[in-house]
Amino acid sequence: MTAADRAAGFDWEALRAEARDAMSHAYAPYSGYPVGVAALVDDGRTVTGCNVENASYGLGLCAECGLVSQLQRTGGGRLTHFTCVNGEGELLVPCGRCRQLLYEFGGAGLLMDTPGGILPLSEMLPQAFGPDHLTK
């Protein structure tokens, strides 16, 4: 099944609503820039996350960190569809660090909801480094 086939008919608005709800729980007293994310897991679960800032700015956690933590805490699996919103509910794209984090848990085929349309993560993070590059 192609990325376009997996995106067709998927309820992106419901996933965005989950991300907006997660964003409403963000802790962003320093930047005033709350972020929420939501993703579908291959077993049908939805996982979410929000950003959590810290007075020591470098210690803040992106929303994607919370999402993958919830993914692992609730049984693991692979992410299949992902969206990210700001405090206004507008679509965002994850930073490079977070794209790498999502690659670990969703791979190249993870569908990303972006302002430019639905794209596979392989187009957002071309030639990504991942687990297959590591040998035991």
Which residue, 3, 11, 94, 8, is CA-closest to 49? 94
Instruction: Decide if 20 contacts 89 (C-beta within 8 A).
Output: yes
For helices 96-106 and 63-73, the axis angle rounded to 10 degrees is 20
Q: Which residues are catalytic?
A: 64
Distance CA(38)–CA(22), nearest Å, equals 8
